[in-house]
Homo-oligomer: A and B are copies of this chain.
Amino acid sequence: MPAYTAPIRDLQFVLHEVLDVRASGVPGCEGLDPGFTGAILEEAGKLAHEVLAPLNASGDREGCRLENGVVHTPKGYREAFAAMRQGGWTALDSDPAYGGQGLPYVIYSAVGEIFVSANMAFNMYQGLTHGAFSAIHKHGTDAQKATYLPKLASCDWTGTMNLTEPHCGTDLGLLRTRAEPQADGSYKITGQKIFISAGEHDLAENIIHLVLAKAPGGGEGTRGISLFIVPKVLVKADGSLGPRNALSAGHIEEKMGIHGNATCVMNYDGATGYLLGELHKGMRAMFTMMNEARLSVGLQGYAVAEAAYQNSLAYAKERLQGRDVRGARNPSGPADPLIVHPDIRRNLMDQKSFVEGARALTLWGASLIDREQRLGDGAAEGLISLLTPVIKGFLTDRGFDMTVQAQQVWGGHGYIEEQGMSQFVRDARITMIYEGANGVQALDLVGRKLAQDGGKALMGFFDMVKGFVRENEGDAALKADFLDPLKAASKDLQAAALYFMENGLKDPNAALAGSYDFMHLFGHVCLGLMWARQARAAQTALTSGAGDRTFHEAKLVTGRYYMARHLPATALHLARIRTGAGPVMALADAAF
């Protein structure tokens, strides 16, 4: 069975040595000294190690069962959820006025990585609850907040998000679920929603569904959509639970992975719902939550890869097979460990350099959300809005690839379910699909985000890269290994953006055909920037003599690997982008 240990030293490195969160000026960050965050991460690691990780494989094997309208989660989930609840983890960063602990989102994210690595399917129950809290907190009335938020903060109730219907996922303008206004101001919700994660389960006494539906008078397409709070059990005026609402889980899907999470078909049969936010502006309400939700999925992408990496590394050190071509390294044993072989190391370094770069990028993204929400920093808001599809799309694509590589280290044993490596692949696969399939992320990036505010955020990003390079160019080692490659990659990104500007107006397909490559190009530049920043932090620590030699030198070596072997992919993506719409669009539909 796979093992997992929380990479606390690495998380601390990013929080303090790279991002220096305490000095960020963000309210709530001033108390985040390394001792404090270390204690939180240790505590989260303990829960992950002792409670969540041991249920990962068993939850995958057992899955969820729907019987007479009740969903039974896998053995041990109820106890684990009680432990999660008791630790107050869901509300770590939530408003203290409603039972939260008020810490910055960047800490919630660092803890989130640990929980996802340990057990992604399980962690979704609390992750979705966190999302529902955010939505109601931002858009709810005072009465709604008072009714729902404390219960969501404590995880006595959990939350869901109901968007997809059988015939529409991306194109929500097509949705058919209806909301009929009632005399008392509530609505009757009728329709079917699918792919509802945690739609029904036995972990909490109530489930608060947030449901997109069309109310009369809103017009066609996405304009007519509103968002509703639809509790599984109706809540009485005094806050106690009343009768069951007219909704039920009709089916749970048998999926490729995340078997521990119940993915439900939800039927709303005139269920009572309450408008959340403005009428006919449900899409806007949804979008304000998107950055956070998509960042969480990007985090899942690399967090599952981290767990898979740990297990491929352990196997590479332990499994004896073949000899080092330069001479036996384990001469008294029957063979050398796999890790002596260059191609195995290539595989491991791919994983390691990706995960560590992705961690820095995700936590940096989370810190931008803190700046946006706690400082009202418009530049941070623009930047995270731009980076969100990159973080979601690139980190989940590459994270999935890395779980496949981790499985590969195990050879035939990796294909056997009992060993657990397959589960990482199967679980990670969903991250490329949900919260907007990655093709939709690329479309969002190129079709919407690039040009937003006249391209201000993109210009800001380039300025930041240039500024970082300028600031550090005096350091010869940093320059050759990190800054020069970063400059070249960033130039490729600029050239791609320029290509879109010059050609996209004449033919939007000239830009859209290159959108997926652009997302990956951008992702590489982001990871290049993150590695340059991590390298500077590592070098600072080493120069000052205060560093942990082995740890900080490993950061430099791992960063150099990424810069030398992965960053050059930007040129390939640029070359593809410059082929324009032609190759992609040339074949007539009928000729496929």
Contact = CB atoms under 8 A, between A and B. Distances in A.
Given A513-B342, A591-B554, A415 B583 contact: no
> Is the contact region of chain A dominated by helix, strand, or loop, or is it mixed?
helix
Contact of A408 (B167, B415, B433, B447): B433
Contacts of A589: 317, 339
Contact of A169 (B256, B321, B564): B321
Interface stretch (A359-367, A417-425, A528-536): A417-425
Contacts of A349: 583-584, 587
A352 interface: yes
A204 interface: no
A284 interface: no
A174 B335 contact: yes
Interface in A399-458: 400, 404, 407-408, 411-412, 414-418, 422, 425-426, 429-430, 432-434, 437-439, 442-443, 447
A587 B557 contact: yes
A389 to B, nearest CB: 12
Interface string A334-370: 1100010111111111001000000000000000000
- Copies per assembly: 2
Given A346-B516, A416-B253, A408 B426 contact: no
A346 B560 contact: no
B590 A561 contact: no
A416 B335 contact: no
A36 interface: no
A173 B82 CA distance: 52
Contacts of A296: none
A164 B444 CA distance: 48
Interface stretch (A110-118, A226-234, A240-248, A569-577): A569-577
A430 B349 CA distance: 23
Contact of A516 (B257, B343, B352): B343
A432 to B, nearest CB: 7
A451 to B, nearest CB: 14
Contacts of A592: 313, 317, 339, 348, 352, 554
Contact of A565 (B325, B417, B429, B579): B579
Given A425-B429, A572-B571, A169 B412 contact: yes
Given A174-B334, A509-B326, A512-B341, A432 B408 contact: yes
Q: For A194, A346, A407, A561, which residue has the most chain B Cβ atoms within 10 angstroms?
A: A346
Contacts of A321: 168-171, 174
B572 A568 contact: yes
A126 interface: no
A123 to B, nearest CB: 18
Contacts of A585: 342, 345
Contact of A586 (B407, B437, B561): B561
A379 interface: no
Given A256-B426, A326-B508, A587-B349, A343 B415 contact: no
7 nearest A-B pairs in the assembled complex, by CB-CB distance: A342-B512, A256-B422, A342-B513, A554-B591, A343-B439, A561-B583, A171-B321
25 contacts: A167-B320, A173-B335, A174-B334, A255-B422, A339-B592, A341-B439, A342-B513, A342-B515, A343-B442, A343-B515, A343-B516, A345-B513, A347-B439, A349-B584, A400-B404, A404-B429, A550-B591, A557-B586, A560-B586, A561-B583, A561-B587, A564-B576, A565-B576, A565-B579, A565-B583
Given A167-B320, A171-B320, A564-B582, 4 more contacts: A174-B320, A256-B425, A557-B587, A564-B576
